[in-house]
Chain A
Amino acid sequence: MFVHFFHELKKANVPVSLREYLMLLEAMDSDIIERRVEDFYYLSRAALVKDERNLDKFDQVFGHVFKGLDLINEGQTAEIPEEWLRKLTEKFLNEEEKAQIEALGGWEKIMETLQKRLEEQKKRHEGGNKWIGTGGTSPFGAYGYNPEGVRIGQKEGRHGKAVKVWDKREYKNLDDSVELGTRNIKVALRRLRKFAREGAPTELDLDDTIKSTAHHGYLDIKMVPERRNKINLLVFFDIGGSMDSHIKLCEELFSAARTEFKNMEYFYFHNCLYEGLWKDNRRRHNEKMQTWDVLHKFPADYKVIFVGDATMSPYEITYAGGSVEHWNEEPGGLWLERVAQIYESCVWLNPVAEKHWEYTPSLQIIKQIIGDRMYPLTLEGLDKAMRELSR
């Protein structure tokens, strides 16, 4: 049973080692916990998970192994943004109902009603736990839907009555690691790592020099290699829209690279950089931060990487109000210029094959703004980009 559990965790990419497994067995042998499944859940979690980003994966595997629950694949559930739900409501409720709900008062009630609707829908699809969004109207249409995976509103308790702790998926938002897929990207990462570690001259170790001098009675200079992880990185990901097919690739790169740098910060934008950025795409509509604040916060010695296809209508770059999502006071191009001005080291990685570049005007504009430092998201392109960043 435990061995199975252990293997399932490994399969779900929770990095568990034999050492931890033995630690858990040892813990089971001593009388730390009572014979409650919750206690076992807590104990195994404390022994096997060492990073909050893996807690959600752990919860899913636990539920799956110990309750025979269906494991939900990443990508099959989506946190559903409130905005989309609002839109959906319009679709689901007829005028009469809408009026009723107005009368009932407020969004909260609407939410509850909506959730009931969705549950009914699920039942009707006999055993089907997938539910496909309304054709084309929602960016989430392609994702399956699982009511348990959806959190509506902020207070968890309301919907979580009978749900087991691990089924609450409380740590979902902490999982920022995406499983590495293609071989290609692994090699790319190795190169990224190399970049992070290169350029390490030696520096004087004052403490050791003094110590050694004191020992020997003559001046004995000691050198140490410079600390490895000196590089500070700021990454901006284009998310949504025409970028969707590339998001996965980008996030793999990003999730695997983060430990290699002294500091690595990432932000999301959509199509072009504007006055607002966000860190959690599921909450992009609620938790935007000021681009200015970001630019002020991170010093000019940060190296900047944009990842995006730079494919859009040119208006989205050159005109105020050109953004497809909101009213932007200043053109996106101006924001890109600002970044390029503040951060000397700056590159753009583009997943679009280079041969298509010349046919996309918006791409050309951005390439120009960024000082021609746009590279395709290939091994070679990555190498070139990193070389550019280490100059």
Chain B
Amino acid sequence: MKFEGTKNYVATEDLRVAVNASITLQRPLLIKGEPGTGKTVLAEEVAKALDAELITWNIKSTTKAHQGLYEYDAVTRLRDSQLGDERVKDIRNYISKGKLWESFERDKRPVLLIDEIDKADIEFPNDLLQELDRMEFYVYETNETIKARVRPIVIITSNNEKELPDAFLRRCFFHYIKFPDEDTMRAIIDVHFPGLKGKLVQEALNIFYEIREVPGLKKKPSTSELIDWLKLLLSEDISPETLREKDPSKLIPPLHGALLKNEQDVHLFERLAFLARRERN
């Protein structure tokens, strides 16, 4: 079964090829791209399209590879043993399964999302090589090997905060989500606001891409911000005419809070607006 995008998600041709290659050859798919370009949502949509369960492993800077396999709570066990608890006899009581293990247990092929892998230590991906390759691992405490019943579809996202090790990269298919051009963005907007009027979208897009070009922005607004902003514009009933107004004193677009999430960026904008006003006077 092929992934063709969904009614909620616009997948460009190249993205579809990468997803299908990864599914067919059962290799992990690594997705990179600016924050807000739909990396996380992609995994959700792939799961939906294939009618598969989504198992998400959110990575933080403190996440260790073994936590995806299992964790053994020796401290509780020590305490239990001192209290003479019966549970202590079975070591299994102290083992909690990680997301990888969970995904290995499913009878129907799930989608395993390892989200924001670059947040972890740079050794993290290497520590998972064997497990992702062979889809099995060994539990020392119980002397058993856990093997995937069906190989999960593995989607890994990265915001590019750190480089990833070569050995890891060589095993993956890779797709870089290029920031959507205007046509793609229109398609995405249409997914979120079916049948939205042309003029408003045009004006909003103009402003949006203009803002992205402003030099020195800490955080360029991304697809997700654009969608939030449009939502606000609609709920406040802002007209395309208001958006189009070229009065420099209105340089700051209405409801800009949705686009500029960073205080410094808002300042930058206010400064620009101020300069524009001064120039005019």
**Do residues A32 and B21 form an inter-chain contact, with CB atoms below 8 A?**
yes
**Do residues B216 and A288 form an inter-chain contact, with CB atoms below 8 A?**
yes
**Do residues A210 and B25 form an inter-chain contact, with CB atoms below 8 A?**
no
B146 within 8 A of A: no
- Of A20, A32, A214, A289, the contact of B170 (CB 8 Å cutoff): A20
Which residue from chain B places its CB closest to the CB of A156 in the assembled complex? B181
Would you list which residues of chain A between 17 and 52 have a CB under 8 Å from chain B? 17, 19-20, 23, 26-27, 30, 32-33, 38-39, 42-43, 45-47, 49-52
**Do residues A171 and B13 form an inter-chain contact, with CB atoms below 8 A?**
no
A211 within 8 A of B: yes
Which residue from chain A places its CB closest to the CB of B12 in the assembled complex? A42
Task: Please indicate the chain A residues that have their CB under 8 angstroms from the CB of B164 in the complex.
Answer: 50
B163 within 8 A of A: yes
**Do residues B264 and A32 form an inter-chain contact, with CB atoms below 8 A?**
no
**Do residues B216 and A290 form an inter-chain contact, with CB atoms below 8 A?**
yes
What is the CB-to-nearest-CB distance from B221 to chain A, in angstroms, rounded to a whole number? 16
Query: How many A residues face the partner with a CB closer than 8 A?
Result: 47
- Of A49, A170, A174, A259, the contact of B163 (CB 8 Å cutoff): A259
Which residue from chain A places its CB closest to the CB of B72 in the assembled complex? A211
Within the assembled complex, what's the spacing in Å between the Cα atoms of A31 and B209? 38
Q: Tell me the total A-B contact number using a CB cutoff of 8 A.
A: 96
Encoded as 1 (CB less than 8 Å from any A CB) or 0, chain B from 241 to 281 comes to 00000000000000000000000100000000000000000
Which residue from chain A places its CB closest to the CB of B82 in the assembled complex? A217
Encoded as 1 (CB less than 8 Å from any A CB) or 0, chain B from 1 to 42 comes to 000000000000110011011101101001010000000000
Which residue from chain B places its CB closest to the CB of A276 in the assembled complex? B216
A181 within 8 A of B: no
Would you list which residues of chain A between 149 and 196 have a CB under 8 Å from chain B? 154-157, 165, 170-171, 174
- Of B25, B30, B122, B215, the contact of A30 (CB 8 Å cutoff): B25
Selecting from B44-52, B73-81, B97-105, B231-239, the interface stretch reads B73-81
Query: How many B residues face the partner with a CB closer than 8 A?
Result: 41
B178 within 8 A of A: yes
- Of B21, B72, B166, the contact of A46 (CB 8 Å cutoff): B21
Task: Please indicate the chain A residues that have their CB under 8 angstroms from the CB of B17 in the complex.
Answer: 32-33, 39, 42-43, 46
**Contacts known (A17-B170, A227-B121); A210 close to B213, Cβ less than 8 A:** no
Task: Please indicate the chain A residues that have their CB under 8 angstroms from the CB of B30 in the complex.
Answer: 50
Task: Please indicate the chain A residues that have their CB under 8 angstroms from the CB of B27 in the complex.
Answer: 23
**Do residues B14 and A46 form an inter-chain contact, with CB atoms below 8 A?**
yes
B182 within 8 A of A: yes
Chain A residues engaging chain B, CB cutoff 8 angstroms: 15, 17, 19-20, 23, 26-27, 30, 32-33, 38-39, 42-43, 45-47, 49-52, 55, 154-157, 165, 170-171, 174, 210-211, 213-215, 217, 227, 229, 258-259, 283, 286-290, 293
A20-B170, A23-B27, A288-B216 given; 5 more Cβ-contact pairs under 8 Å: A46-B18, A52-B160, A217-B78, A286-B215, A287-B215
In the A-B complex, the 8 residue pairs with the smallest Cβ-Cβ separation, listed nearest first, are: A214-B74, A50-B169, A42-B17, A46-B18, A214-B78, A287-B215, A52-B176, A42-B14
